[in-house]
A and B are shown apart, each in its own frame.
With several copies, the nearest count.
Chain A
Amino acid sequence: MSKKATIREAINSALDEALRTSAQVFLLGEDLADPAAGVNAVTRGLALEHGHDRVLNTPISEAAIVGAAVGASLEGMLPVAEIMIMDFIGIAMDQIVNHAAKLRYMSAGRTTSPITVRAVVLEGSGAGGTHSQSLEGWFMHIPGLKVVYPSTPADAKGLLLSSIFDPDPVLFMEASRLYGKRGPMPTEDGFRIPIGKADVKRQGRDITIVTYGPATWEALEAAEALSAEGIEAEVVDLRTLLPLDLETVLASVAKTRRAVVAHHAVTFGGPGAEVASQITEALFNELVEPVVRVGAKFSPIPARASEAAVTLGTGDIVAAVKKVAGAVRV
């Protein structure tokens, strides 16, 4: 069974299923309980349905939010902590990186910290430099973590449930600009998307656009525009950055022999560098052109409408694809 739902509803539905099916699951974060249910209304109704003792409003204490989640997880709980806006995650960095990510290894498996941290990227709101960052690259670099960033309602639901019940700590990213995005969403309990599996969102023979999260939509838009010009781009939505589904990426690039990596994170030092390096190391002799990366420009993000001058747009992807594939085909 499936229905049309927004990503907001899909996340809500995943949280609801998790709370309903496991007494280990609880949510904690700022303002997320009803009646307010958060600035983004993602958690609406969950406290009313499952109790305010399982959907916990916290003080503004990101280190303690994640730290308390870590502690509870050591006892077998499955906490889902919310970082309201990803730019605040620095405050919880020590708990995520030095504790959640490492406790399994440092205890030789005697303690584990299967927390889920939901972090919301606010880019697109125009709120400015400290409320717009896509910092997933930091977490990809940390052994022990998993990093998930869905682009559709079904993926969001299936991946969030997988994250919550995953035995390892997961950073689950949400783009607030996608909350209203509608699409089919399975309604039956038990639906899952496995962590670590990319998804080919569009088939194409000429070039592969490797992407994830909100950039998936710009990539698809770019692919349509390019199709009109005779370039057929394949769009691979990674869905998970860590672990990275290289198999799917390489299968696509082996076919197209050209690749662009696109994301909203800053290009320099970002996730795209890893993806491009992996593609190049594996398919050096198959590649016709070097992999090109597009992302946010190397600048803090300005406020209001100026934001768009710095952040990734469909046009950036189109231009990158033309750079890589254009000469050959058009």
Chain B
Amino acid sequence: MSDIAQLTSSQLSSMYEVMCKSQALELRILKGMRSGEFATIIWPARGQEAVAGALSLALRPDDRLITTYRGLHDHVAKGVPLVEIAGEVLGTSVGACKGKGGTMHIAAPEQGLMMSTGIVGSGLPVGVGLALAARFQKSDRVTAVTFGDGATNTGSFHEAVNLAATWKLPVVFVCQNNLYAEMTPVEETMAIPHVADRAKGVGMPGITVDGNDPVSTYLAIRGAVDRARAGEGPTLVEAVTFRFEGHYAGDQMKYIPAEQLEEAKKHDPMITFRETLLSHPEITEEHLAAIEARAAQEVDEAVEAAKAAPQPDAAEIERDVYAERLVAGNV
């Protein structure tokens, strides 16, 4: 672990807390699914928590974030209340979107989490638009968009990063390269050694960091955020990481070679970062245990509240197709 000295112990702890909550939330949901306590779908980010920790520290509360279906950790990072995340995952009315959006479509603009998308690559152009709005509104807020390695193969990715580079917009593109797009390894879908090389094709800086290390990931993202805030334009940050639960909850991951999984597990950020933290003079085992306990408890309360809430009622289901119910048009 690098550069840990550049952060205060409270910064480090706060990253760890975000990571713990993210992990606890996902594991709790997976447990509920496996035991038959409830039915839903999630695309777990388990293993990618370091990126969430980094984002939580790098972004200001008024900065914006766009994420994907694999975004529960990012939602936690941006401060979306756990009950809103859990509720949305379970499809109940306490969800961020009253249960209508679902796991893939969580939005919480109060926390700056402007959109989660289920369409790979499509978050990037929208993020560019958020950044454009900041310029119009003369705000110095920054937009971060996170997405996977596979997303960089989409036309949307290219159109968005090119536009952002051309217009020098205050946006940071964070690729969470977990080495797989669904069941396909990254090297089968691109001929470049690093996803960050994509940046060269549009004229912006591209940086590759160890995405299992919250500290170096934070420093890279933070640098890009500062650059964006200073009006110097966008950056592509590639955080190389891994996902331990496969593409979706229940994925048997037969397509992942055993050695690769084993090797990846050695770099599980929840374990390695904990070790790093313990080597910090001001951080004790008790302190970390307290963070973990708090995370577990908050998650438990959130999931119980989410479970207890009703599904959206008929009136709610009919709402929000338009600003007002259409009066004309016998649709």
A residues lining the B interface (CB < 8 Å) = 23, 26, 30-31, 35-36, 38-39, 57-64, 66-77, 79, 87-88, 91, 94-95, 98-99, 103-112, 125-131, 143-144, 146, 166-168, 196-197, 240, 242-247, 267-268, 278, 282, 298-300, 302-306, 309-310
Given A71-B133, A130-B105: A143 in contact with B91 (beta carbons within 8 A)? no
Which residues of B69-84 are within 8 A (CB) of A?
none
Contact of A60 among B40, B97, B154, B322 (CB under 8 A): B154
Closest B residue, CB atoms, query A101:
B321
Give the Cβ gap from A69 to chain B, nearest Cβ, in Å. Answer: 6
B residues lining the A interface (CB < 8 Å) = 40-41, 88, 90-91, 96-105, 107-109, 114-115, 117-122, 124-134, 136-137, 143, 150-151, 153-156, 159-160, 162-163, 166, 181-184, 188-190, 247-248, 254-255, 311-312, 314, 316-323, 326-331
Q: Is the CB of B329 within 8 A of A244?
A: yes
Contacts of B125 in A (CB 8 A): 63-64, 66-68, 70-71, 95
Give the Cβ gap from B229 to chain A, nearest Cβ, in Å. Answer: 16
Bound together, the chains give a CA A125 to CA B103 distance in angstroms of 12
Bound together, the chains give a CA A94 to CA B159 distance in angstroms of 14
Identify which of A31, A107, A109, A125 gathers the most chain B CB atoms within 10 Å of its CB. Answer: A107
Bound together, the chains give a CA A298 to CA B155 distance in angstroms of 30
Beyond A36-B184, A108-B97, 7 additional pairs, beta carbon < 8 A:
A59-B166, A60-B181, A63-B125, A104-B320, A109-B320, A110-B97, A126-B41
Give the Cβ gap from A296 to chain B, nearest Cβ, in Å. Answer: 11
Contact of B326 among A111, A166, A243, A282 (CB under 8 A): A243
Contacts of A247 in B (CB 8 A): 328
Q: Is the CB of B129 within 8 A of A73?
A: yes
Contacts of B101 in A (CB 8 A): 106-108, 128-129, 302-303
Contacts of B127 in A (CB 8 A): 71
Q: Is the CB of A57 within 8 A of B102?
A: no
Q: Is the CB of B119 within 8 A of A130?
A: yes
| Pairs of residues from A and B, 5 with the lowest C-beta to C-beta distance, nearest first | A71-B129, A67-B125, A303-B102, A304-B91, A36-B183
Given A58-B189, A243-B326: A109 in contact with B151 (beta carbons within 8 A)? no
Bound together, the chains give a CA A103 to CA B122 distance in angstroms of 13
Contacts of B160 in A (CB 8 A): 63-64, 67-68
Give the Cβ gap from B323 to chain A, nearest Cβ, in Å. Answer: 4
Q: Is the CB of B182 within 8 A of A30?
A: yes
Bound together, the chains give a CA A57 to CA B190 distance in angstroms of 12
Q: Is the CB of A107 within 8 A of B107?
A: yes
Q: Is the CB of A105 within 8 A of B100?
A: yes
Contacts of A61 in B (CB 8 A): 153-155, 159, 162-163
Contact of B105 among A77, A128, A243, A245 (CB under 8 A): A128
Identify which of B119, B154, B155, B316 gathers the most chain A CB atoms within 10 Å of its CB. Answer: B119
Could you jot down 19 A-B contacts, CB within 8 Å? A30-B181, A39-B247, A63-B155, A67-B126, A68-B126, A74-B129, A103-B115, A104-B322, A105-B100, A107-B96, A109-B320, A126-B40, A130-B118, A131-B104, A244-B328, A244-B330, A244-B331, A303-B91, A303-B102
Bound together, the chains give a CA A268 to CA B131 distance in angstroms of 36
Q: Is the CB of B318 within 8 A of A299?
A: yes
Contact of A126 among B91, B98, B107, B131 (CB under 8 A): B91
Closest B residue, CB atoms, query A98:
B119
